[in-house]
Amino acid sequence: MELKTKVNAENGKQDLFITREFDLPLELLFKAFTEPELVAQVMGTKVLKYESKKHGSYQFETADANGKVVLQAHGVIHEFSPNRKIVKTFEMETASFGVQLEMYEFEKMTDDTSKLNMHIIYESGALRDQVLKLPFAYGLNMAHNRLQDIMNKLK
Amino acid sequence: MNLRRDVFQAIADPTRRAILVLVALQAMTAGAIASNFGTARPTVSKHLQILTECELLRQEQNGREIYYQLNPQKMKEIADFIEPFRKMWDDRFNTLEAIMKNYKSK
């Protein structure tokens, strides 16, 4: 089966491409990027501010189960063309990955399907690779923690 | 299992990459590996230690000798390191699709 979401990150480059085909009409796909409450649901974060317009800005904040803030991110919107294109920056205050430039291009495929092409540019190739490795490292850690849990129970 | 060592740091070193290529062909002793490099034996030992800690190499006792061999499973993990990142976005987009389908039917 072909993957619905594809990531293309060429070796030694400082950018990457993500493409995804949606079983949604173009207008509905784009809407998910315009309403703060929808963005909050998709990203699994609290949205403090989200101005979906040119020169607008946004702010996210995610807290853990105990209410401790674990992630703070923000950015500005450079271009906002309905059903066509969004250009914005993204920066995490809680991590040192620098700022990234994100370009989202929306494409109609059929009346009921659409496609999103994302192009993300990082400050350097090394920073891009760090971001790419983050979920990998997290996965390794999770596996390690699970192992630890199992071992603790055996004690 | 020592996870303090970053497997990507391990393969960032050219000597360590050369060691992996060597043992990919056949299991070798530390001495045999070291003879391929102009560096001091303790330097090669240190490299072997790091590669073993990262589980890229496995040690196998054969009589009095310890042979180093490649751990293909770990190598595969590195090749697939982008997969968790892809999975993260895939999950996020699956959520988006589900939310918007629900939104439509409201």
**CB neighbour list of residue A146: distance below 8 Å, 6 or more residues apart:** none
Q: Which residues of A touch B85 (CB under 8 A)?
A: 7, 131-136
SS3 B49: helix
Q: Does pLDDT of A36 surpass 80?
A: yes
Residue B87: closest C-alpha in chain A: A5
- Tell me the average pLDDT of chain A: 89
pLDDT band at residue A145 under the 50/70/90 scheme: low
pLDDT attached to residue A141: 61
pLDDT attached to residue A155: 57
- Residues of A near B (Cβ–Cβ under 8 Å) read 3-7, 9, 18, 20, 22-24, 28-29, 31-32, 38, 41-44, 116, 129, 131-136, 138-141, 144, 147
Q: Which residues of B touch A106 (CB under 8 A)?
A: none
pLDDT attached to residue B80: 77
**Contact A135/B87, CB-based, under 8 Å?**
yes
Q: Does pLDDT of A17 surpass 60?
A: yes
Higher pLDDT, A121 or B81: A121
Neighbours of A94 (CB within 10 A): 12
What secondary structure does DSSP assign to A106-134, as a single string?
EEE-SSS-EEEEEEEE-SSHHHHHHHHHH
Assessment of whether the complete model's pTM goes beyond 0.80: no
- Tens digits of residue pLDDT in B10-28: 877 888 888 988 898 889 9
Q: What is the mean pLDDT of residues A31-57?
A: 93
From A20, A31, A135, residue closest to B88, measured CB to CB: A135
pLDDT attached to residue A5: 92
From B82, B87, B99, residue closest to A38, measured CB to CB: B99
Q: What is the mean pLDDT of residues A96-111?
A: 96
pLDDT attached to residue B1: 43
β partners of residue A46? A61
Q: Which residues of A touch B93 (CB under 8 A)?
A: 4-5, 20, 22, 116
Q: Which residues of B touch A19 (CB under 8 A)?
A: none
From A28, A135, A138, residue closest to B100, measured CB to CB: A28
Segment of A45-54, A91-100, B69-78 carrying the highest mean pLDDT: A45-54
Mutate which: B74, B88, B100, B103, vs A, most A CBs within 10 A: B100
- Tens digits of residue pLDDT in B40-63: 889 999 999 999 998 999 999 999
**Which amino acid is residue B36, in one-letter code?**
N
pLDDT band at residue A22 under the 50/70/90 scheme: very high
Q: Does pLDDT of A1 surpass 70?
A: no
SS3 B60: strand
How many pairs of residues across A and B have Cβ atoms under 8 Å apart? 75
- Tens digits of residue pLDDT in A62-94: 988 888 898 899 999 999 999 999 999 999 998
Residue B105: closest C-alpha in chain A: A28
